[in-house]
Chains A and B, each alone.
Chain A
Amino acid sequence: MRPDDAERRVRNRAWLPGLGHMSLGRWGRGIRLTLFTLAVVLLMAWRWDRFFGAFSTPFFDRWVASVFLILLLAGAVWYSRWDVGRILSDGGDGKPGKSPWKVAMRRFSENRLAVYSIYLILFFYAAAILAPILAPYDPAAIPDVMTNRYLPPSWVHPFGTDEFGRDLFSRALYGARVSLSVGFLAMIIAKTVGTIYGAVSAYFGGIVDAILMRILDVWFAFPTFYLMLMLVGVFEASLLMLVLILGFTAWPGTARFIRGEILSLKNQQFTEAARAIGLPAHQIILKHLIPSALSPVLVTAALAVAGMIGAEAGLSFLGLGIRPPTPSWGNMVSAGSDNLLNAWWVAFFPGGLLTLTLISFSLLADGLRDALDPKALMQKYV
């Protein structure tokens, strides 16, 4: 048999994710890919009516969940084909990555704890998106309260039930959507606004800088948490409102931080060189200054998500965030805190998930910080 044929057969096998890797002797990655694909397919088959039925319902979130499942499957196939092609063409290991970002990626992947954290975070986010498919019960449905309230964890109700007899596992799944999306979106807002504001302020300097920074000082003069409480009190606490409030109370910190970074970068010769080739100011900021200041932003971003999730939980716990019956991890803990001794599971599971998420983000931030250490990035052939 000619080597071309053998190669083609391996490539064809790679249509089944993992099979191509296994026939190349890459068992670890192959088995993981196969298990992942199998899990997705089994989930589709198990909840086929919900998965397929979503397309004939008007509910956007159910539709998104089904599309996401399809994308996961397509992604597995695409990755399998791409990775097998890569292994066949250059032996897979290739040359060690040389771009600073590739070096950072490799350093990051050597940090086990950070990698597991990212897996856990991705798993939580996937579960949150797939909540309509995964949840065994309707999170808001109240069955026969008298026979169902405060049931301890069991196979029927993995996380038990609350005082209204609602299934806590389903509620935790839906609650994850609120908590996780609030954290992520608020972080994006805070970092984007803060980065641009700080960069503009530092780059133009002089009077622009003075005015922008005085505005920040005014902002800093408000105690953040009370500002949040006030805003939440004034506006209706919807999910969108909460994202905006959390995002816009957090951006000044980022802005001040970025301003400091850019101020030091601005006097580096490569900024001067960028001006000397006639690059316009916005391109200098976007192409030269912000990318160079990005690694500390990434690290603080991971911490910020944790902070935002915590803040949302805190507000919800105080009854100022997401209002029941819409579940969020914060208001679930709050509901369970009334009856901690008799029904510990009501507060324990959402609280535990919250803790796991926050720890994961902290570990992720740690990993990023080590991986993005600029001194290490500039090293020749790390």
Chain B
Amino acid sequence: MLLSVRDLRSAFFLDEGELWAVDGISFDVDIGETVGLVGESGCGKTIVAHSILDLIPYPGRVVSGRVMFDGRDLMRASTEEMRRVRGGGIGIVFQEAAAALNPVYRIGDQIADVLQLHRGMNKQQAWKETVRVLGEMGIPEPEKRAKSYPFELSGGMKQRVMIAIAIAGRPKLLIADEPTTALDLTVQAEITDLLEHIQEQYRMAILIISHDLEMVAEMSDRLMVMYTGRLIEMGHTRDLLASPEHPYTKGLLAAIPQLGAGSDVPLEGIPGAVPDLLDLPAGCTFHPRCPLADADCEVEPPPIKTVGYGRECACYKVRMQT
């Protein structure tokens, strides 16, 4: 296993109380695999990514759990080891490239930094490689563009630069946190194509995080669904889309509008709203919105258990299939 996360718990210690953004999740990512993590906004997807790299901003922190990456326990890694993993072992693409690029540095310098840090290049080598990587990212006139400042680039270009920074250190795992959310549809398709191309080229594993179920489904081998800081269902993408088990996953899939479905087909939503993470319902956090819920669901949160081939689900109402 390239990455294995076990019972990860991360919280923000706010004045209003403890906010458990990630509450005991476990998953694996294998070498060269693409895993999707989907969920509604505010369910803790991004915090999962940040927990893995220990990047959670104050007043939050990883409270417990185990993150093994490439045979190393990241929770016990020294600052120095962690620095090598960040950018060198695991690259991360942020949601808003415009905010993640430093506005007063030329983009080439920002990429060259990674090459100097993680691939032991000197300045000239790093600059040459930077131009090559930019070209590979599909940026026209890379020599000229490397000298540009972020504000001179379009949104799609910035996202390509962001990806270039993330993969420049040849990481084994790329975490793409909402890589296409800020972009318009045609550019989204270009970026997902680019990610797929990179994965083939460098045999990188990708953990793709998004609220856009369709985009993730198109790219990933396996899919994980997250709700209020917990994983509630995971399985092979095609299998999971064809036969969702958890009522929440079913609801999510039903809520996707179908192009050309006609106006007579009503769009189904999930009743209710995502609960406040500071004030979660007892038991299964989904029970107030769940059509199958009964008294059992209000006591203990259901553990995630295997319910089929490669399929895990956290619901009392879902039984093991035989």
A35 in the interface (beta carbon within 8 A): no
Once the chains are docked, how many angstroms separate the CA of A280 from the CA of B152?
Answer: 28
Cβ–Cβ contact B85 & A278, under 8 A: yes
Cβ–Cβ contact A277 & B102, under 8 A: no
Contacts A267-B57, A270-B102, A380-B152 given; indicate if A277 touches B165 (C-beta within 8 A).
Answer: yes
How many A-B contacts are there with CB distance less than 8 Å? 77
Can you offer 22 A-B residue contacts whose CB atoms are under 8 A?
A99-B106, A99-B149, A100-B149, A206-B58, A269-B99, A270-B100, A273-B100, A273-B165, A274-B102, A275-B55, A276-B53, A276-B94, A277-B86, A277-B117, A277-B118, A278-B86, A278-B169, A279-B87, A279-B117, A287-B113, A292-B103, A380-B151
Main secondary structure of the interface of A (DSSP, over half): helix
Once the chains are docked, how many angstroms separate the CA of A11 from the CA of B55?
Answer: 56
Cβ–Cβ contact B87 & A277, under 8 A: yes
Looking at chain B, what size class is its interface with the partner chain? 20 to 34
Once the chains are docked, how many angstroms separate the CA of A101 from the CA of B106?
Answer: 12
Cβ–Cβ contact B117 & A278, under 8 A: yes
Cβ–Cβ contact A276 & B152, under 8 A: no
Residues of A within 8 A of B165 (CB): 273, 277
Q: Please give the residue numbers on chain A whose beta carbons come within 8 Å of chain B beta carbons, in ascending order.
A: 98-101, 205-206, 267-270, 272-280, 287-288, 291-292, 378, 380
Once the chains are docked, how many angstroms separate the CA of A278 from the CA of B114?
Answer: 8
Once the chains are docked, how many angstroms separate the CA of A196 from the CA of B85?
Answer: 28
B83 in the interface (beta carbon within 8 A): yes
Once the chains are docked, how many angstroms separate the CA of A365 from the CA of B308?
Answer: 70
How many Å from the CB of B189 to the closest CB on chain A?
24
Cβ–Cβ contact B103 & A378, under 8 A: yes
Once the chains are docked, how many angstroms separate the CA of A273 from the CA of B96?
Answer: 11
Once the chains are docked, how many angstroms separate the CA of A276 from the CA of B86?
Answer: 5
Partner of B104, one of A205, A275, A291: A291
Cβ–Cβ contact A278 & B94, under 8 A: no
Residues of B within 8 A of A268 (CB): 99
Residues of A within 8 A of B92 (CB): 276
Once the chains are docked, how many angstroms separate the CA of A264 from the CA of B142?
Answer: 33
Cβ–Cβ contact B149 & A273, under 8 A: no
Interface members, chain B 229-274 (any A CB < 8 Å):
none
How many Å from the CB of B143 to the closest CB on chain A?
16
Partner of B114, one of A269, A277, A292: A277
Residues of A within 8 A of B102 (CB): 270, 273-274, 288, 292
Partner of A275, one of B84, B86, B151: B86
Cβ–Cβ contact B58 & A276, under 8 A: no
Residue of B nearest to A276 (CB): B92
Interface members, chain B 86-129 (any A CB < 8 Å):
86-88, 91-92, 94, 96, 99-106, 113-114, 117-118
Interface members, chain B 148-172 (any A CB < 8 Å):
148-149, 151-152, 165, 169
Q: For the complex of A and B, list the 6 residue pairs with the smallest distance between their C-beta atoms, beginning with the closest.
A: A277-B87, A278-B86, A278-B87, A269-B99, A273-B100, A278-B83
Contacts A268-B99, A272-B57 given; indicate if A100 touches B104 (C-beta within 8 A).
Answer: yes
Residues of A within 8 A of B53 (CB): 276
Most chain B CB atoms below 10 A, which of A206, A269, A273, A291:
A273
Residue of B nearest to A277 (CB): B87
Q: 9 new A-B pairs (CB below 8 Å) besides A99-B106, A101-B104, A278-B84? A: A98-B148, A100-B149, A269-B99, A273-B102, A277-B91, A277-B117, A278-B117, A279-B113, A288-B105
